[in-house]
Every structure is written in structure tokens, then in C-alpha cells.
Amino acid sequence: MNPIAGVHLAGIASGLKASGKPDLMLATVSPGTAVAGVLTRSSCPSQPILWCRDILPRGSARALLVNSGNANAATGKEGWQVLQESVDAVAYILACDPRDVYIASTGVIGDVLEPHSIAQRVPAVHQALSQTAWTDAAQAIRTTDTFAKGSSQHAIIGDTTVTINGIAKGSGMIAPNMGTMLAFIFTDAVIAPALLQKVLNPIIRDTFNSITVDGDTSTSDTVLCFATGTASHPPATRAQLRDFRRALREVCHDLALQIVQDGEGATKLIETHVIGAKTRRHAHQIGLSIANSLLVRTALSHHVISWGRFMMAIGKTGLPVVPERIDVAIGGWPVVKNGHGLPDMATAEIENYLRSESIVLTIDLHQGTAQHRVWSCDLTEGYITINNNRRHRT
């Protein structure tokens, strides 16, 4: 990923993780940076979520500090002290308002860190700042992720080409109806915070909020988008953001799909495209019901045409569908027509298609014109094994 003017970042192994793996990330953004974000809707949020929720309405940012390995969730007053000391340490070293310092933490839920544990490591990570350390930063926020996640796009605003870089982490405890896992997006575009937030919201809905690994919503889900305003164009109007919107959507889509592909134990990416719905919300809800169904996900892990399970998952939403109108296709091959299994479906071709790493399911409700896509992964013994071994985490 290319540098973005105004953004410096670092990811280091600071010794917070007993394993010695990278665990601390710092990004600084130039004065005047606008920020927008979406945070978990969990009613048991982590301390960093409470902090970000407080400061986000200000719309300005100077830094982002993220630790992995400990979520600082369900940690009460002691956790709040850890957070405050971390914020203060960053504000001190940058000589900025503490309310411009964003914090995220991911890892075990409920373990209380020593008050200074993160704060005392801030000078070391600050020392390592550079304009090019995108991969280091993405590495430092990993927990059970098997690879570091990043995505980049260019967009044109007026006559100026701006850059959008994003990094993310996430592999388990991934479910929509929330912010999402951690994703941090940086751009040099000149956009006011309120407008940035407006642009971001529907994109989050269609990307991070349309993925699921296990239906379990984290206490720490965070998406933050920083616009340094270092590009040369005048402040963007809504109308000028057409291409920026496209590019931001691409970055979010790419990061969201990387999270699902890295779903714990996953062997395939499953796209469920619900069309012909009365409303987009119906399509979204039905898509998620299929995507989260254990029976659908176990069947697909072993390339089994379990179309009856799709009908079950559609039905369990309780939404007013008309079963006799429903068509289902797998990879474009029709399997259900008017609510009936096709006796002459291309079984061999479909079963072969189901062996691929990426599967598209299309559900046509024939009730209207709304549609929505969601992405999930299959459910394998791997998920069970991974989650047997750890005590708890976000």
C-alpha cells in the first residue's frame, strides 16, 4: 500500500502478548484530520468502545492506538484506568487533545491489564512510526487471523486523485447487526466529518454488516475512517464523492471478504444473494438466516445440495414470503423453482461447483425488486477445534 500524506504508522511486538507476537499498533494523523466511525451495538461493550463513542461526535482525530491479545472488555474501573493512561500517554507524546486519541483493543475478554502496561509501551511504538509500515500495522492487530488484511484504492475527487488504505482484523466472533470487527481506513481526501459519516454508513451496512462467521457479535467491533485532508482539492461536496464512494466501498468490501475468508475453520466463502424481495431489510434478514444456519453451513462444507435447508432458513425468519414463488439457484444452476425441488437439476455439475472455494447462492422471492447480498463461510470441525482451546476473547 502506498503512503498517505499525513499518516504515519507502526506495528511492533511490545511484549504485551506472552507469545512475543506483534501486539501494538499506533497511527498518527495530521492535525485537522476528520474521522467517522461505526461501533458495536453490543450492550456489553469494551472500555475502548465507550471511549470512542464519547469522542466520535467531535469528528477530529490525531491518533489511533490498538493493542491485540487483550480486549479490555468486562474490566470495569481498572480497565477504564488502563484506557485513560493509554490515551494520556499518546496525547502527551503528540502534545494533542486526549479527545483526539482513538483506542481499540482486541483479544481476551475480562483479563485486567496493569494500569501502565499499554501506556509505558507508547514511546516504543511511537519511535517506530513511518509512512510505509502498513503491513506491520495490520500484523500488530491480529488475534486468530491467519493472515494480515489490507486493501487499497484510488479515487478521483474533482481533479485530484486521492488514496484510500484500509486494514482490518477478524476471524471469529464475527456477526453483523453491529459495527464489525476492527477495520481502520485512512485517506488523504478533504471531507468534513459529518459528510464522511454519511458516506460511510450505507457502505458499512452493505459490507461489514453483511458478513457473518459465527453469528456472535463482539464487544469490541470498530470501524474508523480517517480523512487527513492533505490532498490538494477543496473540501469535497456530497456530489463530488461519487468515485470516492465507489472506492471506499471497494476497500470495505475487500476487507470484509478477507475477514470471512479467514473465518475460523472456514474452507469456502459463501455469497447469498437474495433478490425479488419486498424490502432490502427482508432480503438482508433472509440472507443472514441462511448464512448463519448451522445446517446450511455444515452441508455446504461437504458439497451437499441441501436446498431443503435453505427453505427452512427462509421460513424461520417468519417473514411473509410466499413459499410457492421461491426460486433457488446454486452457482447459477436452478435447484428450486416455485418452491419445488427440480427433479432434473444438474446434480453432478452442482456438486462439483460446491467443491470450489467460493459459492454463490441466489434466492429469488418474486415479491418485489429489493435485494441484498451477505457473505459467510462454511462450518467445519476446524471451528470447533479452534474454539475449544481458548478461554475467552473478543
User: Which H helix or E strand runs over 341?
Assistant: strand 340-341
Nearer to its own copies, 163 or 219 (CB): 219
Binders of its own copies among 221-240, rule CB under 8 A? none
19 scored as a contact of its own copies (CB under 8 A): no
From the list 75, 180, 222, 272, the catalytic residue is 180
How many C-beta atoms lie closer than 10 Å to residue 67's C-beta? Answer: 29
Residue type (1 letter), 185: I
Nearer to its own copies, 1 or 321 (CB): 321
Among 316, 352, 355, 356, indicate the residue that binds its own copies (CB under 8 A). Answer: 316
Binders of its own copies among 20-59, rule CB under 8 A? 40-45
**What is the Cα–Cα distance from 27 to 36, expressed in whole angstroms?**
16
* Minimum CB distance to its own copies, residue 339 (Å): 6
Nearer to its own copies, 295 or 370 (CB): 295
* Minimum CB distance to its own copies, residue 268 (Å): 13
Binders of its own copies among 266-305, rule CB under 8 A? 292-295, 298-299, 301-302, 304-305
Residue 292 near residue 215, CB atoms below 8 Å:
yes
Q: What angle do CA 256, 375, 273 make, to 5 degrees?
A: 135
Of residues 372, 303, 298, the one with CA closest to residue 331: 303
Q: What is the dihedral of CA 95, 98, 100, 105, to 10 degrees?
A: 120
Among 5, 245, 317, 360, indicate the residue that binds its own copies (CB under 8 A). Answer: 317
384 scored as a contact of its own copies (CB under 8 A): yes
Binders of its own copies among 360-379, rule CB under 8 A? 379
Active site residue 187: no
**What is the Cα–Cα distance from 180 to 205, expressed in whole angstroms?**
10
Among 56, 200, 336, 363, indicate the residue that binds its own copies (CB under 8 A). Answer: 336
**What is the Cα–Cα distance from 213 to 215, expressed in whole angstroms?**
6
Binders of its own copies among 70-99, rule CB under 8 A? 71, 73-76
* Minimum CB distance to its own copies, residue 46 (Å): 9
User: What 8-state DSSP symbol labels residue 333?
Assistant: E
Nearer to its own copies, 91 or 181 (CB): 181
Nearer to its own copies, 28 or 46 (CB): 46
Among 32, 110, 158, 334, indicate the residue that binds its own copies (CB under 8 A). Answer: 110
* Minimum CB distance to its own copies, residue 109 (Å): 3
Nearer to its own copies, 151 or 220 (CB): 220
Of residues 328, 178, 150, 182, the one with CA closest to residue 250: 150
Cell numbers describing residue 58: 467531535
How many C-beta atoms lie closer than 10 Å to residue 94's C-beta? Answer: 18
Among 105, 165, 210, 218, indicate the residue that binds its own copies (CB under 8 A). Answer: 218
* Minimum CB distance to its own copies, residue 293 (Å): 5
392 scored as a contact of its own copies (CB under 8 A): yes
User: What 8-state DSSP symbol labels residue 158?
Assistant: T
217 scored as a contact of its own copies (CB under 8 A): yes
The helix/strand/coil state of 373 is: strand
Residue 304 near residue 311, CB atoms below 8 Å:
no
**What is the Cα–Cα distance from 330 to 296, expressed in whole angstroms?**
13
- Chain centre distance of CA 170: 7
344 scored as a contact of its own copies (CB under 8 A): no
Residue 148 near residue 258, CB atoms below 8 Å:
no
Residues with a known catalytic role: 180
